[in-house]
Structure 1
Amino acid sequence: CAAVIIGLLIHALLVYIGLLKIFTKISVTHFLKSISQAQLLAFSTSSSGATLPVTMKCAEEKLGASKEVSSFVLPLGATINMD
């Protein structure tokens, strides 16, 4: 159990934050603060579908994603993740 948690933390910290730093100009702190509301809801409900409206709001209002992009990419990602 501890090995899985450590592996997930390494993946989140190295891969996701690494990709964020390489491909965007958003600071890690700003990104994490911007998605905190959606992440808290996702962890408490364990449902990407239930968090979709909050995630879209965070992406549009706090991260500056356009409505067209967020309304296409986020539902697509939630659907693909349903395995």
Structure 2
Amino acid sequence: MAISLASLRTTSALTPPRILIHGVAGVGKSTFAADADRPVFIMTEDGLGKLQVPHFPLATSYAEVAEALDALLDEDHDFGTVVIDSVDWLEP
């Protein structure tokens, strides 16, 4: 198949960004995420420190993280950003 300029398309579908923040402990990843639009935290480690942000109880399994995500999908809320803090603690 030959590629030509006639095959170019423009999409107007806007999708929310998915952002992964990587850094050493204590660099400010959670603080940065706390400044996102109306955040709610799903914690897999006790790393919020003194941040006063809405958060679910500490999730100790993938199933508990999935339950929190299901609650956000199924229930009405005003949150604009979901923060999973931190992803590496989801590993088995």
Task: Decide: shared fold, TM above 0.5.
Answer: no
> Normalised by the size of structure 2, how large is the TM-score?
0.32
Larger radius of gyration: 2
Q: Which has the higher helix share?
A: 1
> Normalised by the size of structure 1, how large is the TM-score?
0.34
Higher relative contact order (CA 8 A, sep 6+): 2
